[in-house]
């Protein structure tokens, strides 16, 4: 279980416990947190689950794999710390993770 803080573009914070093995996207969807649409259901094919990983957590989260990177090439509002949240697996090491959602998904 990892405690994850999701921050909407408008500043609203949601702190939830997400089970190990789920994705960061699933943690948001299961808790009905706005800002992560996940239109493709986690198939790395829509980029509506984009998040900005808090700078303190980018090393722990790691870099995107090739498939995710190619989706990010086509996504809007991409920054260096952007990740598709469906591609981030929750582990104990991510307990305390903070992610922010882009305006477009607000």
Print the SS3 string covering 23-72. Answer: EHHHHHHHCCCCCCCCCCCCCCCCCCCEEEECHHHHHHHCCCCHHHHHHH
Interface pick for ligand FES out of 84, 88, 90, 94 (rule CB under 6 A)? 84
**Interacting positions 15-34 with ligand FES (CB under 6 A):** 25
Stretch 35-54: interaction string toward ligand FES, x if CB under 6 A: ---xxx-xxxxxxxx-----
The first and second tokens of residue 7, run together, are 């921050």
Give contact residues for ligand FES (rule: CB under 6 A).
25, 38-40, 42-49, 84, 86
């Amino acid at each position: 279980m990892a405690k994850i803080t999701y921050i909407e573009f408008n500043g609203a914070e949601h702190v939830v416990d997400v089970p190990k093995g789920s994705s960061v996207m699933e943690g948001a969807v299961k808790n009905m947190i706005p800002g992560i649409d996940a239109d493709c259901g986690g198939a790395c094919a829509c980029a509506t689950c984009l998040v900005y990983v808090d700078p303190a957590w980018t090393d722990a989260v790691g870099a995107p794999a090739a498939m995710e990177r190619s989706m990010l090439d086509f996504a809007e509002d991409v920054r260096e710390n952007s990740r598709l949240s469906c591609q981030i697996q929750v582990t104990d090491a991510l307990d305390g993770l903070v992610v922010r959602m882009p305006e477009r998904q607000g």
